[in-house]
Amino acid sequence: MKKYNFAIIGVTLLLSLSACNDWLDIDPSDQVSSEKLFESGDGFRNALNGIYIAMSSSELYGRELSWGLTSVLSQTYADNDIAKSKAYGSAMEYEYGETEIKAVLESVWSKGYNVIANCNKLISEAEAKDSTAFREGALERNLIIGEAKALRAMMHFDILRLFAPSVESGDESKRIPYFTVYPSKYEPNLSTKEILKKVEEDLLEARQLVAKHDTIVNTSTMAMPDYRMGGTNKATGGDFFGQRGIRMNYVAINALLARVYLYDNDWNNAAKYAKHVIDDFVTRRKWFYFTDPYDYAKATDKYKYVKLYEDTFLAFYDRELLERIDNFKSANNSLLMTLKNYDALFELDADDYRTSLATSDGKTGKTSMKWINTNSTNQSVTIQYKLIPMIRLSEMYYILSEASSKTSLSEALSYLSVVRKARGAKRDISGTASKDYYNELVAEYKKEFLAEGQMFYFFKRWNMPVTTGTQVIQMDGRYVMPIPESEIIY
């Protein structure tokens, strides 16, 4: 068993404060020592903010775990484009031993475990403080601890999805550690099932800790899309408690639980939490709903809600996202993100509204509009330029579909049809044969999460080949990323 020596130096946490969130005067360097940071309750707010910023960095969800590495691994982009990046060219061929891709994997691993260490530091400091240290008392203390535990779980889960075998593969090897304390110089590697159990425990606890704030005290910051994703509503307690759509909230935690249980082949619990999200927050409270087709299919490009943000439970926020993407260009200044076999996705569903979420790449192909500047001046549109969707309503129906498929094909297809109808696809799939169910499910995932980094995890979870158009890529031995050679996680 390989040992990992942690060298988390001093724990200085990156801070970034917007004008409306001046919770604390900070050092000019924007970094402070952990001792100073946690002197007051306000320091905990800034520490949590720093964790979100780290998770939105290019090493993680700001690139590699969204439109970058994980999208490349699922063959999202055209070969001749993506091969111009040496790292991504190697990733596209699953040649993980090449120098450039090894560096990318190292950065994902080390940044991910750095985030986890910062979560652990924040949790330990917050749990050691009396609730009177926080402006809003126990409500705020619980919210901070709950969010940090959920983020810790999410980060471990996605490291698992890259660097460890899937449950479906049957491989019980112990590949990665799970860290819950700070400081920690060693934790044993665990099997996929053991890691998933710890992820589940963290999320269940986090769910309880944030519930009161999100479902009782500050429901207005959850109930309306513009308030969730960047509006200026007056949240009870101040700005720190607003914009819950870009923070780990109660609904997102339940949705993430459904995703985790599905990965664990725990169909009953996956369905339970997906249904809880839909029944309580779509049907009953009506906080979330499928984005109106007018806002992305019928609107002109500059007014399109390209991130479908009205049905998004959680999106990370990266103020530099467009700049990161703008830097990913060839020598002739064209984006290296031409979509592979895009038209084939919609051969059977030409009326699907999601066809409108791609535009010309300036050559002969198309690129996703999710990651480009559409030159809008509408605030509800421009806020989406900085959002990285993490989990949305459609996935809950897909999870219910998969869970139902074990006992009732007709029920499984009915759940897929809910999303298809909302997205404008009129083809009747109710008569689909059981042997064709997987293909319908794959098509839905591809259309819904195009260039968002989720398809690689889908194929891996099923332990099936990666497919693109008519190409079928056998993945024997290719789904598990090699553990980085470095033994120190910063």
**Domain CATH code at residue 465:** 1.25.40.890
Does residue 78 sit within a domain?
yes
User: Going residue by residue through the chain (490 aa), what tens digit of pLDDT does each one get?
Assistant: 333 333 333 334 333 333 333 322 333 334 556 778 898 889 999 999 999 999 999 999 999 999 999 999 999 999 988 888 999 999 999 999 999 999 999 999 999 999 999 999 999 999 999 999 999 999 999 999 999 999 999 999 999 999 999 999 999 999 999 999 999 888 999 999 999 999 999 999 999 999 999 999 999 889 999 889 986 667 999 999 999 999 999 999 999 999 999 999 999 999 999 999 999 999 999 999 999 999 999 889 899 999 998 999 999 999 999 999 988 887 677 788 999 999 999 999 999 999 999 999 888 899 999 999 999 998 888 999 999 999 999 999 999 999 999 999 999 999 999 999 999 999 999 999 999 999 999 999 999 999 999 999 999 999 999 999 999 999 999 999 999 987 544 3
How far apart are the C-alpha atoms of 174 and 308, rounded to whole Å?
38
Task: Please report the pLDDT score of residue 41 as a whole number.
Answer: 87
Task: Please report whether residue 246 resides in a domain.
Answer: no
In a domain, 36, yes or no: yes
SS3 annotation, 9-55: CCCCEECCCCHHHCCCCCCCCCEECHHHHCCCHHHHHHHHHHHHHHH
Q: Which domain holds residue 70?
A: 1-195+454-490
Residue 284: CB atoms within 10 Å: 9
Please say whether the beta carbons of 401 and 441 come within 8 A: yes
Cα-to-chain-centroid distance, residue 108: 14
Nearest to 315 by CA among 256, 384, 263, 255: 384
Q: Which residues pair with 5 in a beta bridge?
A: 488
Contact 192, 229 (CB under 8 A): no
Supply the pLDDT for residue 396: 99
Distance of alpha carbon 448 from alpha carbon 313, whole angstroms? 15
Separation CA 204–CA 199 (nearest Å)? 9
Query: Using the 8-state DSSP alphabet, how is residue 181 labeled?
Result: S
The DSSP code for 485 is: S
Is 270 domain-assigned? Answer: no
101: Cβ–Cβ under 8 A, 6 or more apart, which residues? 86, 87, 88, 90, 91, 95
Give the global pTM: 0.93
- How far is Cα 205 from Cα 197, in angstroms, rounded to an integer? 12
b/e for 448-480, b at 16 or more Cβ within 10 A?
Answer: bbbbbbbbbbbbbbebeebbbeeeeeebeebbb
Instruction: Please report the pLDDT score of residue 173 as a whole number.
Output: 97
Domain presence at residue 390: no
Contacts of 132 (CB under 8 A, 6+ apart): none
Q: Which residues contact 410 (CB under 8 A, 6 or more apart)?
A: 430
Q: Which token pair is 434?
A: 């059981």
CB 411 within 8 Å of CB 398: no
**Residue pair 122/148 in contact by the 8 Å Cβ criterion:** yes
**What domain count does the chain have?**
1
Whether the Cβ atoms of residue 426 and residue 412 lie closer than 8 Å to each other = no
190 domain-assigned: yes
Please give the distance of CA 442 from its chain centroid, rounded to a whole number. Answer: 19
Contact 316, 61 (CB under 8 A): yes
Q: Which tokens belong to 138?
A: 């126990």
Q: What is the pLDDT of residue 32?
A: 57
Report d(CA 392, CA 448) in Å as an integer: 10
End-to-end CA distance of the chain: 20
Sign of CA dihedral 23, 25, 26, 30: positive
CB 406 within 8 A of CB 438: no
Q: Which helix (H) or strand (E) holds 158?
A: helix 137-163
> Is 163 part of any domain?
yes
Closest by Cα among 244, 322, 240, 318 to 287: 244
| Distance, CA of 60 to CA of 157 (rounded, Å) | 13
Residues in the chain: 490
Beta bridge partners, 131, equal none
In a domain, 117, yes or no: yes
Dihedral sign, CA of 249, 251, 254, 260? Answer: negative
List C-alpha distances in Å: 65 to 57, 94, 282, 452: 10, 16, 28, 8
